[in-house]
Amino acid sequence: MNLDLSPLLIYLLPMAAVWIFYIRRQKRVHADALDSLSEAEQSGLNEPASLHPVIDPTLCLGCGTCVSSCPEGEILGLVHGKAVLVKAANCIGHGACKEACPQDAIRLVLGTERRGVEVPVANEDFETQVPGLFVAGEVTGMGLIRNAIAQGILAMESAANFAANAADKVTEDDRLDAIVVGMGPAGLAASLKAQELGLKFKTLEQETVGGTIAHYPRGKIVMTNPVELPGYGTVRIKETSKEALLELWRDAIAKTGLQVSTGQRVKSIDRDEEGLVVETTKGVYRTRSVVLAIGRRGSPRRLGVPGEDLDKVVYRLIDPEQYTGKRVLVVGGGDSALEAAVSISEQAGSEVTLCYRGDAFSRAKPANRARVEKASENGSLDVFLSTSPKKLESEIVHLDTAQGIKKISNDAVIVCIGGELPTQFLRDSGIGIEVRHGE
C-alpha cells in the first residue's frame, strides 16, 4: 500500500523551518550576549555603579522580556537561555526589568561582593533608628531621579503618619509636623507631598534649589521616566538638559507656591521630649518628624597630594567658559569628570587633560564615554588611564602614570572624584550606617 506523505510534509516542513530559525536566532542572541559580557569584562565595565538587577537562574525562563524592557538598551542579555547582566556599568537602576519579569526572578540590589555601598540603616517606611527621622533619595544609594521622587513621596507619607500619632500624645501646638532637608528630586517630592497633605512644615536647603542637579556640568543629559509630582502633575521627560530640569523645578515651586528656605545648612538633629530639634546656620526649628533628602556628597573627596591647597584647585565645574584658553587638568572617572573635561575641551584655545586612576571609565554612562572617546580622537582632549596626580605646582602638575612620572603645564585643576558620604553627620544624628554587598 502506498502512503501519501504530502499532507505530513505540508505540516512538518514549516515546523522544521521555524525550529531551525529559532535555534539559529538563539545561537546569535547567545553569541551577542557573550560578546557584550566579554567586552565589559575586558574593559573593566562589569561592575554596576548603583542599584542593579540580580537574576535567579532557577526561576528565569529565558523569555527575554527583561532584556527588551530596559529603557537604556540591552543591559541584560541571554546566555545559555538565562538572563545575565552583560553591561553592568551601563545599568542605572530603572527597575523596568524586574517589573517585566513574569517569574519574579529578578531582585534589585545595591553593591556587589567586590564593591560595597554605604547606606543609612532604615526600615521599609524609610524610618531610621531615630523615631521620626526618615531618609530618602540619593543618600540611600538611589541615584535615579524617578526612584528618588518615589522615595521622597513615600517617606513623607510615613513622616505624616508619625507626626499625626505624635500630635495626639503632646499638647505643644507650635511645633512643625515635618522638616524636609534638601531640595533635590526627593526633597522636592517630599515637600510637595507635605503641602498636599496640609502639613505644617518647612523645607531647608543649604545651597540652591535643585540640590545635586544644580551642580551638574552645564548641558548634562538626564534620563528619567514619567513621574507624578504631588500638586503639580505628571512630568514626562525622556531626555533633557540640566538647565531644562532646573527650570522644571522652579516652575513646580512657582505654580504650587512651595516655600523653600535656601542657604540653611543643617548643623545637627537632636531629640527632645516632644520630638526633634533641627539646628541650622540660621536658626533652630522644632518638629515632630524630619525627612533627610540630602545627597551623598557631604564634602568633596580630596586627592591628598602636595599642592592641593593651591587656589587653582576646585572641586566643581561652574562654567566651562571660564577656562577658555586655559590648560586644565580634570581628575576623576565618573560622569561629572567626563562631562567637565569634554565641556572645557570645547572652549576656544583650551588644553584639557583627563586622568583617572582606574583602567576604564566604569562608573560613567555610555554617552559620556563616547563623548570622551570622540574628543580624544579629534585631539581636543588628552586621556590618561591608570594615572593619578602625584604633586601639584603653580604652573605644573606631576602625574603618576604606568610609564612613570609625567609633567604637564597647567593653569587649573578640577577634582571630580566624588564626595565623602556624610557619615559623621548621620551618625551624630543617631543614624546607623551599613555596607551593602549585593543586598
Q: State if pTM tops 0.75.
A: no
Q: Name the grid cell of 184.
A: 533635590
Report phi then psi at 419, rounded to 5: -135, 165
Tens-digit pLDDT profile for the chain (439 aa)? 455 556 666 767 777 776 776 667 666 755 666 666 666 566 566 677 677 888 898 999 888 888 888 877 778 888 888 888 878 777 777 778 888 898 898 888 887 777 777 788 999 999 999 999 999 988 887 767 788 899 999 999 999 999 998 876 665 568 999 999 998 889 999 999 999 999 999 999 987 776 666 665 555 555 556 788 999 998 877 666 777 778 888 899 999 999 999 888 899 999 988 899 999 999 999 999 999 998 776 667 889 999 999 999 988 887 889 999 999 999 999 888 999 999 999 999 999 999 999 988 877 878 889 999 999 999 999 999 999 999 999 999 999 999 999 999 999 999 998 776 788 889 999 999 888 776 6
d(CA 262, CA 284): 15
CATH superfamily of 313-420: FAD/NAD(P)-binding domain (3.50.50.60)
Across the beta sheet with 381-385, what order do the strands follow?
313-314, 412-415, 327-331, 351-356, 381-385
List, by residue range, all CATH 3.30.70.20 domains of the chain: 6-109
List, by residue range, all CATH 3.50.50.60 domains of the chain: 118-298+421-436, 313-420
Of 396, 383, 385, 409, which is closest to residue 325 (Cα–Cα)?
Answer: 409
Residue 309: is it exposed, middle or buried by C-beta count within 10 angstroms (0-12/13-18/19+)? exposed
Return the number of other C-beta atoms located less than 10 Å from residue 29's C-beta: 18
Instruction: Map residue 249 onto helix, strand or coil.
Output: helix
Q: In CATH, what number does 6-109 get?
A: 3.30.70.20
d(CA 29, CA 79): 8
Q: Name the grid cell of 210.
A: 535643585
| CATH architecture, domain 118-298+421-436 | 3-Layer(bba) Sandwich (3.50)
Question: Which residues partner with 40 through β-bridges?
Answer: none
Question: Which residues partner with 118 through β-bridges?
Answer: 435
